[in-house]
Structures are given as C-alpha cells and as structure tokens.
Amino acid sequence: MKRALVLWLVCVGAIAHANVWQHAIEKGSPDPAQDVYDSEMADGDNFAAEATAKGASPKTVRQLVERATSSYRNAAAAKPKEGEPYFRIGRLLYSLYFEYQDTVNIANLSPLCFGSIVQVFDRKHAQEVIDAWDAFEARAPLDPRLSVNARGENEILFRRAILHTKLTSKEHLEAAARDYEKILAREDSADDHSEDPVRSNLAETYMMLGRVEDAIDMYREALRRGASTSTEYGYAVALDRDERSGEALDVMRSVGRDELDKFHRSVMQGETFFVPRGEEYYYYALAHEAFDETDEAIEYWQQYIKSGAHPEFQPRAKAHLAALATKHHGGIPKAPWQELLP
C-alpha cells in the first residue's frame, strides 16, 4: 500500500512537471525554464503550507510532504544552479521530522515527530535533510541564511551538525565538526556569548574523533564564555582521557554533588544526549568516583565497558575499574564485573 502511494505521488509529480513545461513552450515564454521554476516552487510552497497546518493525519502529512518535495525537485531540475529549492526541502523535512526539541506543548508537534520523542532516530530523513542543505550550500555559499547572527547562532549549520552527530560515523562526526567550525569562523570574535553550545558541542565532537587535546582547548574556551554542568563534565572526561585523572576528578568535585543528579535527569529526559550509546556511562562513572561513591562508579564503569563505546578509551575505563577494585574490594573473590578487568 505504501509503495503504491509513493509511486502515485511520483507519477503525479512527473505529469505536473511535463504539463508546466508544455504550457511554457506553448506560451512562447522567453524563459520557459523560469516559468517552470516559478510554478513548481509555488506548488511546493502550497503543499508545504498544507503539510504544516494543524489537524492533518500523519498519512496526509506524508503525502503532502512527498508532493512538496517533488515540486521543489522539479523546480531544481528546471534551474539547476538555484539553491532555494534545496533549502526549502531541508527546512520542510527538518520541521516535520525533527523540530520537536523546542516544543513544550505536545499538541503543537508535527504528527511525524513522535518517533523521535521515543528515541527512535530517523536516519533516513536526517540524511535527506543533510543532502538538501549540502546542495543548498554548494549553490549559494554566500546566502545570508548561512551567516551567523549577532548572538553567534546559525540554525542551518547548527541543526545540520546535530544531525551529523546523531548519525555517528567518523565521516558524519567530521562533517559536524566542520559545521561548528564554520559557525565560529563567521561569528564576531569580539562578542562574548553567555551561552555557547557551539564550542561545547565542538569540543565533544573533537573528543569523539579522538582529538583529545583539541577537545580540552575547546572546552576551556566554552567554559570561559559560560559554564554549564554538561560542559564541565565534558571537560573533566577529556582531561581524564588525556591521563590527567587528578585534574578531572577535581573538576567534577568543583561542580558539586547536587549537579550530578540534575545531570542524570537531563540525560534521561533527552535534554543532553551522547553518541554512541553507552558514552554517558563514562561521565556517570567519573562523577561518582569523584565523590567516593565507589559502588555506583564501579557499576557505571562496568556498563561503559560492556557498551563497547569508543574502543580507544576502553583502557582508561578498565584502569579506573582496576584501581577501584584494589581500593574497595581488595582480597575479596572476584565479582562478575571484575571479569572485565584487563
């Protein structure tokens, strides 16, 4: 049934596209390609407006999205050098499949966002958004929508970086780092932004790429512009992975014990996310270790090791676990978690 629907939408788009071309030729227009472009963009906008209106069922919204993107692609085919159709494809797909983080009232959500709320990341549409915005940027690199505002923000680059990060491969993480670097390169360096998720996210991305020294430097920049618990914790983890555990534990303690519980809640509620799955256990383990909560630290080091996240940092986790075992369980027969020790 779904396949038949998609084929029907494709056929409708193709027929409409052919009719517009024929009409433009018959009119004797001096620029039939422009006529096709204008007509298809208008159709795409109309379908997009219907898709984003409240009250439509998920099935209807998906049909309208297919028709809108088909029209925008027809416009792009008519004027291959134009970036605008690709911007609108990316923005439409993002708004309907991913733009749920900024919404408090669930009644205002797109009916296509619910899978994301329950932590089922939509990899297919994430890649489609990235591809569309890549095509837009390639054709219009100086478009103002790719610049940075007075607060040091850029929605397209930042959102694309988040999507790249959630796709998790090295290629995508490198692309995320480039997007964050573009934002920093285009901001007014004289501005001192009190909240700096770009630097914090870039530091985390560097760490995921194994660039620990770069991560430490970027975390320090982020902290100079306004500390948050997740940034402080990220800085501590980077120090630990640079084999500076004493400094790392001091940073964790300086944040305060109450913040650890808040951090747990932030991760559980999806306000703070980690990739790959299991990376969060390193943060938990190091924080509990800093406050001498050894049993909890052992549990989270164990979970981190079992997750297999970031193989390059597994030896550090095992070293922590071995040290805690010696300190807290000396002379006691091995517990199951101790089989994970090197």
How many C-beta neighbours within 10 Å does residue 46 have?
A: 14
Tell me the pLDDT tens digit for each residue of 246-257: 999 999 999 999
Asked if residue 179 lies in contact with residue 134, where contact means CB atoms within 8 angstroms, the answer is no
* Cα–Cα distance for residue pair 64/321, rounded to 1 Å: 54
What was the pLDDT predicted at 99?
Answer: 83
pLDDT(32) > 60: yes
What was the pLDDT predicted at 6?
Answer: 36
> Which residue intervals of 225-256 are DSSP H helices?
229-241, 245-255
How many C-beta neighbours within 10 Å does residue 29 have?
A: 13
CATH 1.25.40 in the chain is located at 193-342
Least confident of 8-17, 141-150, 186-195: 8-17
Q: Three-class SS of residue 26? A: helix
Tell me the pLDDT tens digit for each residue of 288-305: 999 999 999 999 999 999
Q: Per 3-state DSSP, what percentage of the chain is helix, strand, and coil (rounded to 5)?
A: 75, 0, 25
Q: Three-class SS of residue 101? A: coil
Residues in contact with 116: Cβ distance below 8 Å, sequence separation at least 6, in sequence order: 97, 98, 100, 122
What was the pLDDT predicted at 111?
Answer: 73
* Cα–Cα distance for residue pair 40/68, rounded to 1 Å: 9
| b/e map 210-249, b = 16+ CB within 10 Å | ebbebbbebbeebbebeebbbbbbbbbbbbbbbebbeebb
What was the pLDDT predicted at 107?
Answer: 54
In 82-186, where do the E strands start and end?
none
pLDDT(275) > 60: yes
**Distance in Å from the first CA to the final CA of the chain:** 53
pLDDT(4) > 50: no
- Please give the average per-residue pLDDT across 8-27, as a whole number: 51
pLDDT(101) > 80: no
pLDDT(115) > 60: no
- Please give the average per-residue pLDDT across 60-79, as a whole number: 97
* Cα–Cα distance for residue pair 260/231, rounded to 1 Å: 13
pLDDT(273) > 50: yes
Fold adopted by 193-342: 1.25.40
pTM: 0.83
Asked if residue 187 lies in contact with residue 148, where contact means CB atoms within 8 angstroms, the answer is yes
Tell me the pLDDT tens digit for each residue of 217-245: 999 999 998 878 999 999 999 999 999 99
DSSP secondary structure letters along 169-203: SHHHHHHHHHHHHHHHHHS-TT---S--HHHHHHH
What was the pLDDT predicted at 271?
Answer: 84
How many C-beta neighbours within 10 Å does residue 329 have?
A: 16
pLDDT(287) > 60: yes
Cα 151 vs. chain centroid, distance in angstroms? 20
